[in-house]
A and B are shown apart, each in its own frame.
Chain A
Amino acid sequence: MADAHDPSSVRRSSATFVVSDCDRNGKTLFSKLAVDTLTLRTGRVPHIFDTDDPAGDLLNHYGGPDAGVGQIVSPTKTADQLKIFDGMLEADGRHFLVDLCARHYQKFFDIYRDTDFQAGADDAQLDTAIFFVLDRTEASLQSAASLRQSLPDTHFVLVRNPAIGDILSDPAIDDPFKILRPHRTITLPDLSGEALGMLEHPDFHFDRFATDAYDQFPFELKAELWAFLEALYEQRSAVGEGGTAHPL
């Protein structure tokens, strides 16, 4: 798969999939971080496919489904499958983010595999990356390993969130990723309740924060948020070391 950061592939499209096999583990927050990072990098908000039907939790951070930055879709509906998969393959230089609800996880990746979407993406010059937000259970770890194994040609990043409990830090757990091809991991830094509440506010956006749009924030809060972003950014640099958010 081509490197999204290769200058010769600037016009390439990209599809970022933020997924988890469980709910309530920080997935939507990570999706928001990914959307804002892509916005910073490309100068345009990526098209969002929010599978949280009908609530559209992620889209509500970007003005809702009528704001023109994305749509609420249900991967169980064939018409919506066409919107998502065909839509991404027809993109010319556009960027997409799919925020995948746990309840659609199995169906979505059944379609991904059955249609050989990765091959279609390669033909369409669409770079793909899966960010799997790991839950606190061993079953979630097995799900991640199974997904990674079934899609070896798709960028795969394991997102660890110590705030909910990090199963990989348990020495009794046999890490199934040891037997798989190299992958990447990113660990979300700890945040205070105040900072977390700020990130989860629909009016807060990382790209605006990074361009000093929130002057009114208390110094301590700004410092904590900067430290959060820097901790994430530093994880980008370890390409090949297994610790990077490189596809973003």
Chain B
Amino acid sequence: MKHTVILVGADKGGVGKTTVSRAMLDFLERQNVQARAFDTENPRGTLHRFYPGRAEIIDLANVADQMRILDTMDSAPETVTVVDLKAGNLSTALRIFEDIGVLQAARDGEFDMALIHVVGPSIASLEEMNEVAKYTNGLGYVVARNFINETNFFEWDEATYSKYFARLSNAREIEVPKLNEMAYEQVDLAGVTFSDFVANKSSDGEPAKFSFVLRGYVRKWMADIDKQFGELKMVKNILAAKRAASSGKAGK
């Protein structure tokens, strides 16, 4: 089964990048897809806090750490690698991957690679899309619009909206819906995955006492974002490959 690398990045902090990484890891787990994660938020490791057993903190500029991601794809039991790129490091990371031939290997079909580019409601954030466009040719490119602040991404200004979004011919767009602030903070405070929060489980797997209402908000939010993940080509490929592998095993 071909390995899939999902890069999640943004050149601006606070746009919901790690939230999208967490949502994707949760989604894959619910689909019974084994995934590993790398957190380049070195040394803090926001993603690592929620997935201490699964997300490794790495420094992408370090060659040894690059090898930990790229040279282990065939040997890892997991079929998907999610890399949460450090805020402000998206273009740099893509340039590194281009320079060492990783992007070309993906274009050649050695493995699948997709970039989920999380953008916020600012011109500076939208300008990033032009900057990364030169790297995304031949890769899966997903623009995630984060509606966490109920913004409208300049849809009220047709010229601005068209300038950035209408020209994205090779990109899929997804929308990160708003999650109730108190629910988000409660999950953050508990340091658990979204799935565990909904299941009312603490980080050590014990029954928790999270609010029924807040769990409901998170459940609804997960369902909304899962629906969008499920429509992505890369996700469909992952799930199809998993089904094929499962039926192959069953046949034997």
CA distance A114 to B220 in the complex (A): 6
Query: Counting CB contacts under 8 A, is A106 at the interface?
Result: no
Residue from A78, A79, A115 in contact with B212 in the complex, judged by beta carbons closer than 8 Å: A115
When A and B form their complex, what is the total count of cross-chain residue pairs whose Cβ atoms lie within 8 Å?
36
Q: Which residue of B lies closest to A77 (CB)?
A: B182
Q: Give every chain B residue within 8 A of A89 (Cβ-Cβ).
A: 212
Q: Give every chain B residue within 8 A of A81 (Cβ-Cβ).
A: 213
Query: Counting CB contacts under 8 A, is B197 at the interface?
Result: no
Which range contains the number of A residues in contact with the other chain?
10 to 19
CA distance A81 to B216 in the complex (A): 11
Query: Counting CB contacts under 8 A, is A82 at the interface?
Result: yes
Main SS class of interface, A: helix
Q: Report whether B216 and A86 are in contact in the complex, using a CB–CB cutoff of 8 Å.
A: no
Q: Report whether B216 and A116 are in contact in the complex, using a CB–CB cutoff of 8 Å.
A: yes
Q: Report whether B217 and A82 are in contact in the complex, using a CB–CB cutoff of 8 Å.
A: no
Query: Counting CB contacts under 8 A, is A10 at the interface?
Result: no
Total count of chain B residues near the partner, CB < 8 A: 13
Task: Digitize A67-92: 1 where CB-to-B-CB distance is under 8 Å, 0 elsewhere.
Answer: 00000000000110110011001000
Residue from B181, B213, B215 in contact with A111 in the complex, judged by beta carbons closer than 8 Å: B213
Query: Counting CB contacts under 8 A, is A63 at the interface?
Result: no
B168 CB to closest chain A CB, in angstroms?
31
Q: Give every chain B residue within 8 A of A117 (Cβ-Cβ).
A: 212, 216
User: Which residues of B pack against A, CB within 8 Å?
Assistant: 180-183, 211-217, 219-220
Mind listing 26 A-B residue pairs with CB under 8 Å? A78-B180, A78-B181, A78-B182, A78-B213, A79-B182, A81-B213, A82-B182, A82-B211, A82-B213, A82-B214, A86-B211, A86-B212, A86-B213, A111-B213, A111-B216, A114-B217, A114-B219, A114-B220, A115-B213, A115-B215, A115-B217, A115-B220, A116-B216, A116-B219, A117-B212, A120-B212
